[in-house]
Amino acid sequence: MVQQHESEESHMNITPNIGIRICGTGSSVPAKTVTNDDMATIVETSDEWISTRTGIRKRHFADGETNLSLGAEAAERALEMAGISREAIGAVICATITPDHIVPSQACLLQKKLGLPEQILAFDICAACTGFLYSLHTARSLLCTMPEKKYALVVASELLSRVTNFADRNTCVLFGDGAGAAVIALDENSRYAFDCGAQGDTEVLYCPKSYPNTNPFAESQSEQPVQQVHMEGRAVYSFAVHALSGCISRVSEAAGGFPQHYVCHQANARILQAAAKQLGEPMDKFFLDIADYGNTSAASIAIALDDCVRSGGIQRGESLILAGFGGGLSYGAAYLTF
């Protein structure tokens, strides 16, 4: 069962403190676009059902692209916008639930492909749709401990098509593939507050990992589960609205008020509308690009942030909340100045 109220402990995570500056953003999606009408050729659904229930009109599915190729392209764009020396990067973190390998991590692969320095912390974070938030906060914490390195690179890259059950209309119409990235630095003059939480749950949203059992000494041979996302949509919906409005109101309170903009996980436009209503905030402060990409899990906030920045939706010095929720179950929000 999903708990409807986050524990009081989540309030302990709020740390208004030294802020971060987003120096550059980037994103990349596969070339292949799949419309709602295309989805209706494989499962019993319609453009009308998908767009009115979720806001999604199309998504991108990999056809040759990899987690690394998308992540690296997004990162190159973020590095180009930031205009920094790669030698000044002290950490590269990749948020993903769909890596190309178990080992090496996506972050190690990115270190090589992007020509990042060898003296770098490189690792992946598995926190589903909250992965970019967890990674951003971790990167900020690491930068606080390494004064000799000025920047961290946070990448979020997903190929959800790898773990989608294309026979299940309840889930397959929701997901898409893509990657986003951000180069961040510490900024003493910028306001920062963070809140996050986790409610371990294996019933309403999960994706089993299957390893073939090749151990010759094992007496019991367990059946390998199918590696596909399973989701109880209504239960996750209720959790999402509650978790999103809860962590947004806590970071806003810690930061001294609501921000000028929200860039949230793009799972369902109705979830954002319901959260906005609970918060008493106007919907036009919430950036929406779900129509073009669907739910890209960890990548979704990073892609939306890049779209928002590049379309002029947010200007330097304006305040912003990034917020996410999803598998874990997990949730998180960060208040910062762009």
**Are the C-beta atoms of residues 261 and 287 closer than 8 Å to each other?**
yes
Q: How far apart are CA 240 and CA 234, in angstroms?
A: 10
**Are the C-beta atoms of residues 338 and 320 closer than 8 Å to each other?**
yes
What residues contact 22, with CB distance under 8 A and at least 6 apart?
182, 183, 184, 305, 309, 336, 338
Smaller CB distance to ligand ACO: residue 25 or 330?
A: 330
Report in angstroms how near the CB of residue 194 gets to ligand ACO at its nearest. 20
What are the DSSP E strand ranges found in 203-318? Answer: 205-206, 230-231, 261-264
Q: Interface residues with ligand ACO (CB under 6 A)?
A: 45, 49-50, 53-54, 128-129, 169-170, 173, 205, 229, 233-234, 236-237, 240, 267-268, 271, 295, 297, 326-327
Smaller CB distance to ligand ACO: residue 325 or 338?
A: 325
Q: Is 167 exposed, middle or buried (0-12, 13-18, 19+ CB in 10 A)?
A: exposed
| CA–CA distances in Å: residue 54 to residues 60, 229, 267, 269, 303 | 16, 18, 8, 6, 18
Smaller CB distance to ligand ACO: residue 39 or 108?
A: 39
Question: What angle (nearest 5°) sits at the alpha carbon of residue 76, between those of residues 133 and 73?
Answer: 85
Q: 208 preceded by cis ω (within 30°)? A: no
Report in angstroms how near the CB of residue 48 gets to ligand ACO at its nearest. 9
DSSP symbol at 222: P
Smaller CB distance to ligand ACO: residue 184 or 205?
A: 205
Report in angstroms how near the CB of residue 144 gets to ligand ACO at its nearest. 29
Angle at which helices 269-279 and 47-54 cross, to 10°: 20
Smaller CB distance to ligand ACO: residue 74 or 271?
A: 271
Q: Which residue is nearest to ligand ACO (CB)?
A: 233
Q: Active-site residue numbers?
A: 129, 265, 295
Report in angstroms how near the CB of residue 264 gets to ligand ACO at its nearest. 11
Report in angstroms how near the CB of residue 205 gets to ligand ACO at its nearest. 6
Q: How far apart are CA 264 and CA 142, in angstroms?
A: 24
Report in angstroms how near the CB of residue 12 gets to ligand ACO at its nearest. 24
**Are the C-beta atoms of residues 43 and 169 closer than 8 Å to each other?**
yes
Give the residue among 36, 105, 37, 21 at the shortest CA–CA distance from 71.
Answer: 105
Smaller CB distance to ligand ACO: residue 78 or 94?
A: 94
